[in-house]
Amino acid sequence: MRYQKIPNETIRRLPMYLRALAVYSENGSSYISSEELANDLGLNSPQIRKDLSYFGTFGKRGMGYEVDKLTEQIRVILKIDVTQKAVVIGAGRLGCALASYEGFGTYGFSIAAILDNSPKKIGKKVGKIKIESVSKLAFIKRKKIKLAIVAVPAQFAQEVTDKLIKAGITGILNMTVCNLKVPKRVTVRSIDIAMELGVLPYYMK
């Protein structure tokens, strides 16, 4: 394996592989071929093999990939082999939905708290997660939390983000419609749900 630049698209697919692998593991399969994996995910098999080949040789010819081993290897690649703590900012409907979303577990994330600025909400709980004051940024520093999910109204998004970065956050999942300005050392990924819906009609019929 020569050195090659790893495509961003490859990285984007790795969590998909993890998700599928979790299902195989539950079902007790110990090996999985790139063909089966591709079928289940709606991809094609050379793509999966190529994706994995950027990081090493994980499969056995004639057999496929060992489910549990590959799971662990992908976790290491993605740096989620240890549980990562994250905070949700904004205890609105979306923030609460995210905080209680079990899917994060699959990737080894745990939601440490929800922060909000409404005195009415502070102190309440969403599932097992407590709503704390957003002014408690010391909380983030103390717990060495590096990840934040921003789900506040758009007009406060940049302001909140600036504060988060001061508190030591270096990775942000932005659920608002803002284009957040952050220093280079901070990584942002944005999801605009309406935008995804926005392209559907174009492709329909």
Partner DNA sequence: TCCTGTGAAATCTTTCACAGCT
Partner DNA sequence: AGCTGTGAAAGATTTCACAGGA
Instruction: Catalog residues that contact a second copy under the rule CB under 8 A.
Output: 11-12, 14-16, 18-19, 40-42, 77-80, 84, 86, 92-94, 96-98, 100-101, 103-104, 106-107, 109, 146-147, 149, 170-173, 177, 179, 185, 187, 189, 191-205
Q: Please, what is the minimum distance in Å from the beta carbon of residue 146 to a second copy?
A: 7
Q: Please, what is the minimum distance in Å from the beta carbon of residue 162 to a second copy?
A: 16
Asked if residue 61 binds DNA (CB under 7 A), the reply is yes
CB 134 within 8 A of CB 153: no
Asked if residue 14 binds DNA (CB under 7 A), the reply is no
Asked if residue 193 binds DNA (CB under 7 A), the reply is no
By CB under 7 A, the residues from 20 to 39 that bind DNA are 33-35
- 46-55: list long-range contacts, CB under 8 Å, 24+ apart: 47/13, 48/13, 48/17, 50/10, 51/10, 51/13, 51/14, 51/17, 53/1, 54/1, 54/4, 54/6, 54/7, 54/10, 55/6
Report the C-alpha gap between 164 and 61 in whole angstroms: 47
Asked if residue 16 binds DNA (CB under 7 A), the reply is no
Query: CB under 5 to 8 A by kind: which of a second copy, DNA, none does 106 bind?
Result: a second copy
Task: Report CA Rg, the chain.
Answer: 19
Residue 190, token pair as written in the block = 């944005």
113 Cβ neighbours under 8 A, 6+ residues apart: 87, 88, 129, 130, 131, 132, 139
Q: Which residue among 23, 30, 39, 44 contacts DNA (CB under 7 A)?
A: 44
Binding site residues, DNA, CB under 7 A = 1-2, 4-5, 7-10, 33-35, 43-47, 49-50, 52-53, 57-65
